[in-house]
Structure 1
Amino acid sequence: MRKLICLGFVISLFPAWAQVDSSGLTERRELLLQELFFEALAARATENPKKQIEKLQKALEFNDEIATIHYELSKVYMEEGEKEQALYHGYRAIELESDNIWMLKHYEKTLLSLEMWDDLLVIQQELLEISGESLLYRLRISETQAAMGNYKKAIRELNSIQKDFDEIIPDLAERKKNIWLIANKPKRAEKEMRRLVKVYPDVPEYWGALGNFYRANNNNRKAKEAFLRLLELNPQEPRAHFAIAYIYRNEKNTEGFFYHLREAMKSENVAEKDRIEVLISLIRAGGNLPEIQTYIEEMLQNAESFHPESAGVFVLSGDFYATLGKYEKALLRYQRATTLPDGRKAEVFQQIIGIQLELRKIEEAAKTAKTIVELFPNQNQLLLLAGIAFLENGDDTLANEALLAGFNITFGDLNLKNEFRRLLGEVNHRLKNHSESDAYFEKYLELNPNDEVTLNNFAYYLALRKEKLDQALKMTEKSNNIERNNPTYLDTWAWVLFQKEEYSKALEIIERAIDLGGKNEPEIMEHYGDILRALGKNKEANQAYNKAIKLGGNRESIEPKILP
């Protein structure tokens, strides 16, 4: 039963086969021909065009005079983009069955794809006579005449159609307008549109088309009139507001421009993509001007309201507020974007963690860093920021893992590679992996020998360990030569000298640091006390220690140093 149903379905799709003249074929050859044809149809059902072509070509070897086979071959070749082959077999099909409407329609489609206008016109004339679709083919004949450059004939055909109706048909007027525009006859195109709005004065679309025509022809006055008439009919039409806004922009009428732009952007009918493009253009043009920022903010709020599931809208809002330095607002919008489809992107998380670090939301930044490591293990810049967040939060092991991962996938960007080295030097110092820390710092300074911050830090770390003190002294002296009168750098210099037991020189340097503001730093005051104690100045040392505690220094480590 299933086979019979399938066979009936195939025959119903291709009834022309039943009319094939197989005279002259032996019964055996006829059976083979039928078998090849149905195998071709089966190949079509399984979407195997190559096999279908093969079977149909073999069928033609038995008999080249069967229109249906040529017709099927032409259709397959068209689907495969082999238009010349489709043209040949399409022609053979109508040559054999010149009154077959389906074959003529297919051949028409083939000629149209090849832009063979003269032949196409002949076929359309035949279809006009036999198809029973008079209006359709009169319209197509008009289109073909226009494509051939026979504009007057194309218009004449449309006028002939119009005479069959008692009222103006908008589609015909639109077609005539388009033909006159192609023919570079704008006055005649305008006449068609004017006739249309006269007959149908309450149809907004026709006024919009007229307005667009005038805009395209740089007639802003008439364009504005047409769009304002459209707004009388439909005050909420955003396209009209947009059009008038840009006319006012060209006229340098700022007030009119922003009024109509804001009205347009209040409409829920503005597509998300169009809304975003308008906002991007506006932000680029005047996002730094306070008077325009107010308008932009209002439009962004509308966008967020109309498109609450659009990550793009919230990212754009975040970018706008970040540019203005309104980081809290920016952060909220970036975070909202990550909860939406297409919002969990690397650049969004980069903005989030960057703002969290800027605002000193260190615990939040560390949480974001964990998400970054999970989602973007191959994004070196994000791993760098994640490493910084972990460092700031005291998660030294996580910081080391993130930074090392980023370091190992960074190639070509020498500056970024070296920044990883600097941070890996810091974290390995904290983890007491001193040989690794030193190696990272030394390689970093080899490439950036004048980085006074790293020179200072590395020198201080060596001083704390009482190792490589001569190297530490050279680095701290260099950092102080690069930036003079920095109390932190002077403190490091004094501490290196202290570890080298050069106490008098150390006292001289740290007193300079104190005079430059170091007296308000607990660590500097504690070091001052240590140097004074080493010089036997116990009373002054006690005073320095007490001052360090008062400033917030570690009481447990400082108090034991105070002598009675």
Structure 2
Amino acid sequence: MKRSYIHKSVLFSILLLCMMLIGGGSAYSQKKKKKKSEKASETVVLSEEQVTELEHYFLEGEKYFILGDRQKAYSFFEKVLELDSDNAAANYKLGQILLENRELNKALPFANRSVELSPKNKFYYLQLANIQTTIGQLEAAEKTYFSLVENVEGTENHLFELAAIQLYQKKYDDAIVTYNLAETKLGTMEEIYQQRQQIYLKQNKLDLAIDEGKRLVGLYPNEKSHVLNLGRIMISNDRLTEAKEFLEESVKVNPDEEELFILLAEVYRKNGDPEKALQSLKVPFGSSSVDLNAKIRTLAGYLGMLPNEKLNDPLMVLGEILVGTHPDSYQALAMIGDLHYNVQEKEQARSYYLKAVKIDGSNFNIWQNILSLDMDLRDYDGAIDHANLALETFPNQSSLYYFSGTAYLIKKDYENAIKTFNTGKAYTARDNNMKSLFHGQLGDAYNSMGDHEKSDASYEAALKAKPDNDHVLNNYSYFLSLRKKDLEKAKLMSGKIVKAYPENPTYLDTHAWVLYMMEDYEGAAKYLKMALDFDPSAVIVEHYGDALFQLGRIDEALVQWKRARELSSDDSTNLETLDKKIASRQLYE
């Protein structure tokens, strides 16, 4: 039969650990041990044989514990307690096994007993505190940590655990007392000042928090994080005068510390001196070590102030510095694009946006900005090209098809417009607003091609998706009136948008034209006159003259036609008809 054995190093570990545990508890070096009975006050004396047996059980328990057989280990430690119920080390080990098995309520009595029996062993306290914290007995854990520090030398560092438990319970004053005690016992420590500062902030004791911050800066002058943190605390709590003095002095001492200039700029901005703020930002913006996102966030804070004659140029200077420092950053290029856009420099904005997507085309918002600018600049070919480029990365984005299709529609390339809209609408299934927009544009395209059946069907689909789509209500009702079809329906639709937008001259003109086609000339004249109050354009003026003519007010109609003639450009398409009306004092439709 093979003999079982334990490796010498394992045995040495067992013996070493036993000595450590026993050191704070029972002494097995004696051949006899006095033991107080739990049931009586008399002293029980262990025989030499019992002492030997007890030591054997303990070593066996420790051996199996190290080997990972917790069940056998537990049984041996139980045998230790059968011989000596006041054995602190065995109580500790049983508590340890139960703790590892997550049987915390069972572990607690053993942990308590080990501390009672050996109040100078720090490991017993730590086990007890661990169990108490885990099961939520936080006040008991506080007492355990405090007793540990009071009774065991060299354990003052555990005051930090005590303070953490107090903070968790929001016992802020108690935590302050604990940190003060830690400072008394351990001396000056960064962590103590930092924690006290955070507590004072939670308590809204701002003066005390700032005082702690100043102590940190004084004690650790080379630690820039303390300076920055104190500056941020002052700024976030609107202590701007104090922050200004502190940061201006700090930048004198640390002229190369870029982040200080960012904070100082924020103080200037909040104090209503944005020009001085922008001047301060030149230092950090010219540094590649300052976080790019921090710079971008800073510039973004000024976008809402634009356009502004005093800020436009300084901001552009910063934007150029930003791009010069980060030439390969699409975010930097997009940011200066935003600056140009906000001062209405659309060509320049688009140029920077295009440079940005050339570096990284994964930002969908930048593509949308480009396409919006294409449409604003009436560069419809550019819109089509850029939409196609964006679709290579974002093939499922319906808005890209919308931009492209609209550009084709404006170019009167109706076939490509219809093809694009039909492709794009497949990606609008869950977005009724976009679905309505696509069908509305299809309605316009089909109408322009003379396919009224498909046009009407598209408009109906658009209104089904969004019944209050004002663009569709206007165009659908107007085109029906031109065809003199479903005029009652056209009247309902145009009346709906006039009610919703009573100051929109285009909608007023459409409603008037529907009434005109229904031979309600009084109503038409009424709404056309209302439209003229908001937009005295040649078209509306001419329509008003037509309505007046139908009412038999020919002289008044002639005045309006002549007025329309003066307002019309020389290349107006209806100029010849208007001239005939004036010359013959007759209506030509």
Q: Deviations over 1:32-80 (max 9, x none)?
A: x977979xxxxxxxxxxxxxxxxxxxxxxxxx99445422233xxxxxx
Aligned to 2:346: 327
Identify which of 345, 362, 367 aligns with 2:380.
362
- Whether contact under 8 Å (2:323, 2:333) holds in the other structure is yes
Which of 133, 146, 149 is 2:173 aligned to? Answer: 149
Matches within 5 A, 1:310-321: 311-321=330-340
Mapped partners of 1:355, 1:392: distance in 2: 15
Question: What CA deviation, in whole Å up to 9, does each residue of 1:336-379 have, x standing for no partner?
Answer: 4434568332x433322222233233322212333455655654
Q: CA deviation at 1:172?
A: 4.6
Structure 1 Cα separation of the partners of residues 99 and 160 of structure 2: 26
| Displacement of 1:452 | 7.2
Paired residue secondary structure (1:94): helix
1:337/1:343 contact within 8 Å kept: no
Distance verdict in 2 for CA 1:156–1:297, change over 3 Å: same
The answer to whether 1:294 aligns with 2:296 is no
Matching residue's letter, 2:336: S
Q: Does residue 428 of the first structure (1) align with residue 452 of the second (2)?
A: no
d(CA) in 2 for partners of 1:199 and 1:442? 75
Change beyond 3 A, Cα 1:209–1:383: closer
Q: Cα deviation per residue 1:144-183 (whole Å; 9 max; x = unaligned)?
A: 6775733445413312222xxxxx5544554565567677
Question: 5 Å matches for 1:347-496?
Answer: 347-371=365-389, 376=394, 379-392=397-410, 396-407=414-425, 419-428=437-446, 433=451, 435-437=453-455, 439-440=457-458, 451=474, 455=478, 459=482, 474=517, 485-486=538-539
Contact 1:396 1:430 in 2 (8 A): yes
Code of the residue aligned with 1:389 in structure 2: it is: A
Question: Could you tell me whether the CA contact under 8 Å between 1:424 and 1:437 is conserved in 2?
Answer: yes
Question: Which residue does 1:77 correspond to in 2?
Answer: none
Shift of 1:226: 2.8
1:404-428 deviations in Å (ceiling 9; x for gaps) = 2445665798876555344324433
Alpha-carbon distance in 2 for matches of 1:420, 1:178: 55
78, 94, 100: which one aligns with 1:72: 100
**Rounded Cα–Cα distance in structure 1 between residues aligned with 2:323 and 2:131:** 48
Which letter maps to 2:301?
S
Q: Which amino acid aligns with 1:335?
A: L
Structure 1 counterpart of 2:291, from 271, 276, 279: 271
CA distance in structure 1 between the aligned counterparts of 2:69 and 2:151, rounded to whole angstroms: 33
Q: Residues 242 and 487 of structure 1: is their aligned pair in 2 closer, same or farther, counting only changes over 3 Å? A: closer
Between stretches 144-153 and 222-231, larger displacement belongs to 144-153
Once the 2 structures are TM-superposed, how far is the Cα of residue 96 of structure 1 from its aligned partner? 7.7
- Offset of 1:387 from its aligned partner? 1.0
C-alpha distance 234-298 of structure 1, shift in aligned 2 (>3 A): same
> Is the 1:142–1:154 Cα contact (8 Å) retained in structure 2?
yes
Count of aligned pairs between the two proteins = 442
> Cα distance, 1:270 vs. partner?
3.8
Q: Structure 1 residues 283 and 121, CA, compared in 2 at 3 Å: closer, same or farther? A: same
SS of the aligned residue for 2:408 comes to helix
1:215-273 CA distances to partner (integer Å, 9 max, x unpaired)? 57765554433323321221132443233334444544455444334444444444344
Say if 2:149 and 2:155, in contact at 8 Å, map to a contact too: yes
Aligned mates of 2:329, 2:398 — CA distance in 1? 27
Q: Does 1:282 align with 2:302?
A: yes
Partner of 1:137: 158
C-alpha contact (below 8 Å) 2:459/2:476 kept by paired residues = no
In the TM superposition, residue 89 of structure 1 has moved relative to its aligned partner by 5.6
1:231 to 245, 251, 257: 251
One-letter amino acid of the counterpart of residue 149, structure 1 = D
Q: Is 1:260–2:260 an aligned residue pair?
A: no
- 1:169-210 Cα offsets, whole Å, 9 max, x none, are 544554565567677777766666655555665665555555
Q: Distance in 1 between matches of 2:227 and 2:216?
A: 9
Question: Is the 1:262–1:299 Cα contact (8 Å) retained in structure 2?
Answer: yes
CA distance in structure 1 between the partners assigned to 2:541 and 2:199 by the alignment: 80
1:63-110 deviations in Å (ceiling 9; x for gaps): x99445422233xxxxxxxxxx6x536536635866897786565456
> Partners of 2:207 and 2:434 in 1: how far apart?
63
Q: Which residue among 105, 111, 126 is the counterpart of 1:88?
A: 105
For 1:349, the aligned partner's letter is W
Q: What's the TM-score, normalizing by structure 1? A: 0.58
Alpha-carbon separation, structure 2, partners of 1:340 and 1:131 = 64
Amino acid at match of 1:293: N
Q: Offset at 1:389?
A: 2.2
Q: Can you list the C-alpha shifts for 1:301-343, whole angstroms capped at 9, x where unaligned? A: 3444455565554444333322322222222333344345683
SS in 2 for 1:427: helix
Q: What is the alpha-carbon distance in structure 2 between the residues aligned to residue 88 and residue 156 of structure 1?
A: 32
Is the Cα contact below 8 Å between 1:108 and 1:120 reproduced in 2? yes
Q: How far apart, in 2, do the equivalents of 1:73 and 1:487 lie? A: 87
Offset at residue 287 of structure 1 (A): 1.6
Q: Secondary structure of the equivalent of 1:486?
A: helix
TM-aligned CA distance change 1:72 to 1:197, over 3 Å: closer
**Structure 1 counterpart of 2:506:** none
Residues 202 and 312 of structure 1: CA distance in aligned 2, closer, same or farther (over 3 Å) = closer
Provide the C-alpha distance between the structure 2 equivalents of 1:484 and 1:156, rounded to a whole number of angstroms: 83
Are residues 321 and 90 of structure 1, via their aligned partners in 2, closer, same or farther at CA, if it must alter by over 3 Å?
A: farther
In structure 2, the CA distance between the partners of 1:451 and 1:23, relative to structure 1 (3 Å rule), is: same
TM-score with structure 2 length normalisation? 0.56
8 Å contact from structure 2 (residues 112, 128) kept in 1: no
Measure how far apart 1:275 and its partner are.
Answer: 2.7
Write the letter of the residue equivalent to 2:101: L
Sequence identity percentage: 19
CA RMSD of aligned residues (A): 5.7
Question: 1:180 & 1:436 partners in 2: Cα distance?
Answer: 71
Q: State the match for 1:121 in structure 2.
A: 142
Q: Which residue does 2:185 correspond to in 1?
A: 160
Contact kept, 8 Å, 1:353 with 1:369, in 2: the verdict is: yes
**Counterpart for residue 56 of structure 1:** none
